[in-house]
Amino acid sequence: MAGSLLRGPFTCFTSKSNSGTVFFLHGSGDSGEGVKTWIKGLLKTDEVIPHMRVVFPTAPLRPYTYLGGELSNVWFDRIALSPSVEEHHETINKMADELIMSIENEVATGVPLNRIVVGGFSMGGAMAMHIGYRYLPGLAGVFALSSFLNDKSSVYEHLKNSDKGMQFPPLYMCHGSRDTLVPPSWGKDTHDRLCELGVGAQFHVVRNAFHELTGGELRQLFDWISTRVPPP
């Protein structure tokens, strides 16, 4: 991927059979290595799904308007952390192109698209929803943890204009009940609107959790992924 904004090779959890792949996108300001270490610390293992590889890309370093223009590893730019503002389409679309290239490279190694799951935490989950519902409906699934879409998201517009009866990857969402940075109501509203537009989705509230990952949440997530992509 010469010229790619994504730094590779990506850090990952390997597996014995590698019959499927998870792309796990970190939250704003983090890195692939950072979220990988976070997950390993919570689960005390790096073999989270024995038959699947888990890939942790790192978002490019870019000026982030929400932080006053400071450089940060973010998947896209935004002017405020609120569902009421407009999406920054230029950076979202460019990042989608880059991630799709990475996913297509994975397919070229022999992993079918229908055995690939894309998701992430916070901003990473929002980026994953753009990938799954605007670009790659053939994915096995999408997950979004402590995430939301803007009220006028291009994801909703794309789904409204999609052919009737079109199948979309199922969505798995979790949100901490005590999240004050991204209130759970934002995530639930995203879930409800996507369901209205034909996406099969689950929304789980993680009791007493803040804007964070938890061990229980991750174990349930990886169990769900294993049902979507069972061992060969």
Catalytic residues: 122, 179, 211
Query: What is the distance between the alpha carbons of residues 129 and 149, in angstroms, rounded to a whole number?
Result: 8
DSSP state of 161: T
Instruction: Give DSSP secondary structure letters for 82-140.
Output: STTSPP-HHHHHHHHHHHHHHHHHHHHTT--GGGEEEEEETHHHHHHHHIIIII-TTSS
SS3 172: strand
Q: How many residues does the chain have?
A: 232
Query: What is the distance between the alpha carbons of residues 161 and 134, in angstroms, rounded to a whole number?
Result: 11
